[in-house]
Structures are given as structure tokens and as C-alpha cells.
Chain A
Amino acid sequence: MPLLNSLPDYVLTTKTDELINWMRKSSIWYMLFGLACCAIELMHTGGPRADIERFGATPRASARQSDLMIIAGTLTLKMALRTRLLYDQMPDPKYVISMGSCSNCGGLFQLAYSVCDGVDKVIPVDVYVPGCPPRPEALTEGLLKLQEKIMTERWLARAPGTNGEAA
């Protein structure tokens, strides 16, 4: 955030969009949507070593209280319908991180008859994190990339009448 030299220390000048986005990106609450093996790595990412809570991301159990959905694990066709329902239950603005190969593209289960090849067949995805399973450091990088994406959103310039999504 740019500071002008002549102002005292307790005055901050910045753009409104940057201030709003900085507050939003530092407090992304994710929904626990651990389906399979990546769920264990998601737990480890929230665990003591690669602590994701230092970035403000805390786990929530309910979709209604979260703004990020981390799809961790294989999406079967039986689960895909419920995934769509849970995504619709999240309030706007919402983001989706697809964690692991299985939710990116089906992973090593593309030969299976009951697996949905990739979660982007049912919901729109913002960040894809590759790996099988991705290390906690990889998932943290995915979250940081999402934070970069959030910083590019514009709030004051959007047309009136659109819902909470940024332009």
C-alpha cells in the first residue's frame, strides 16, 4: 500500500479495493470437505507443522459459514450431486480449490465406472492444486495463489444490480 512521505505514521493511504481485498483474503474460512486421502493431508495442513490458520483460514463445518470449499479427494458420481448442493448452499462470494489429482481430473481413477472425472464438471473451480496427495506446503501455496486472485477483484467498479461477485 503506497505511503506518502509527508503524512504522519498513523495515516494510511491506499485504494479502497485493496483495503477491502486485504481484509477478505486474510480471513478465508474453508469448509471441511475432505472426501478421501487428500483429507488427511488437509488435516495435516491445518495441523501443527504447516499451520494454515496463520493465514487466517480456519475450518468450518457448515457450508453456510464458509467462503472457500477445498475439494479434497475423489468425487464419485453419487457424491457429485451432493457437492453441487453444498456449493449452492455457500453464500457469495465463494471460491473453490480443487486439491489433488482426483478432483482435478479423476486422477488414477479415470478407469473407474463410478468416479466423476474432475470436480469442474459440477462446480466452477478457482485454483487447481496438483499432487497425489499434495503436500501441505503445496496446498498452502494454492491458498496463497487464491489470495493473489482475491487481490485482483474490484468492488467499486462493478455494475449496479449484479450480485456479490466482483467484476
Chain B
Amino acid sequence: MEPLQIYERLKGRFGERILETAEKKPDPFAVVDPAALLEICRYLREEPELAMDCLSNETGVDYKDRVEVVYHLFSYSHRHGAVLKVRLPREAPRVATVESIWKSANWMEREIFDLVGVNFEGHSDLRRILMPEDWPGHPLRKDFVEPQEYHGISTVRESPIVRLDQLKDQHKKK
């Protein structure tokens, strides 16, 4: 089935929970209501004609006015895929976890929590995965400011000319 047909099917079943579908971009996607996400995902997985048995990608994207979580679903038995998106507010974004439906979501949601700051309700082990445990902030946000130092190591590199002069001074002292 083509993605647009899948979205029509979802609209027929869930009505206004499917907020919009975009056709003009290279890859069409469907924006869904965050409160209905679990139900829609379960339907997509269990319906025999859709059978989306694999969550092949889950990404968090930070736009200026919202945060989006994008789900790329795929079915190995029917060889078709779909793209779902949820739009969340930028301060304290939260959405239900799909870990109970696809186990691959476990690590992917931890990464989105770490880098974008989305809180997944019901996740079994939501902690930072790529950054150190005591890192301040969420790096993939557009307004992220790099810290000047971390545990005494400065993140600023001085110009190599300065370093060469220092080495020359050390040599002269000897």
C-alpha cells in the first residue's frame, strides 16, 4: 500500500485524531494527536493488512515553535511503510512511550530524551544514553549553549601560535 492510502485508512478509523497529512514534500507524513498515539500505533501493528511490525526510526526534531517526534514505521510482511509525527510544546514536551508496542523504541526514546529533552511517559529506563549523566542541557535544541568547561577540562582551544610560543619559552628555560 502507498503511504497516502495508509493515511486515508487511518483517517477513516480515527477521524479527527489525524490532524493533517502532507503530500507535496518528498516523503508524505501524517501528524497525529499525541493523546491518541498509543492507540494508533497499536492499530497499525495489529491490523493484518497494515502489520507494521518494525519501528525503523524514531527522531526528535526541534523547530522554533515546537518539538516534533517522528516515527518511521515499516512492515516486513507487506513491504510498506508510514511516517507519523506528533507535535509537542517546546517547554516540557511529553508523550507516551511506544516501548510496549515495539521494543526498539527503548533506546531510541532514550536518545531523544538525552538530546532533545522529550519526556516519555511509561518508559522503563529513561536516562541519558550518549551524553554523560551530569551534562547540563539538551544539546540538539536550537538554543543550546555549550558549557565553557566540563569537570575542569576547558572546551575552548587556544590558537596554536600561543601554544608554540609557550613551548619555545619552556625550551629557553632549559
Nearest residue, chain A, Cβ from B146: A113
Is the beta-carbon distance between A105 and B151 smaller than 8 angstroms?
A: no
What 1/0 flags go to A96-129 for Cβ under 8 Å of B?
0000000001100010011011100110000000
Count A/B pairs, Cβ under 8 Å.
Answer: 29
A interface, size bucket: 10 to 19
With beta carbons under 8 angstroms apart, the residue of B132, B156, B157, B160 that contacts A77 is: B132
Interface size on B, residues (CB 8 A): 13
In the complex, the chain A residue whose C-beta lies closest to that of B131 is A114
Q: How far is the CB of B110 from chain A (nearest CB, A)?
A: 15
**Residues of the A chain whose Cβ atoms lie less than 8 Å from the Cβ of B150:** 77
Contact across chains for B139 and A113 when beta carbons are under 8 A apart: yes
Most buried by B among A77, A81, A116, A118: A77
Is B153 interfacial (CB-CB < 8 Å)? yes
State whether A114 and B139 are in contact (beta carbons under 8 Å apart), knowing that A77-B132, A77-B151 are contacts in the complex.
yes
Chain B min CB distance to A129 (Å)? 16
A121 CB, nearest partner CB in chain B, Å: 5
| A138 is an interface residue with CB less than 8 A from chain B | no
Residues of chain A lying within 8 A (CB to CB) of residue B153: 77, 80, 116, 121-122
Question: Which A residue sits closest to B158, measured CB to CB?
Answer: A117
CA distance A33 to B131 in the complex (A): 21
Binary CB contact string for chain A from 60 to 77 against chain B (1 if under 8 A, 0 otherwise): 000000000000000001
8 contacts between A and B (CB under 8 A): A77-B132, A78-B132, A80-B153, A113-B139, A113-B144, A114-B131, A117-B157, A122-B153
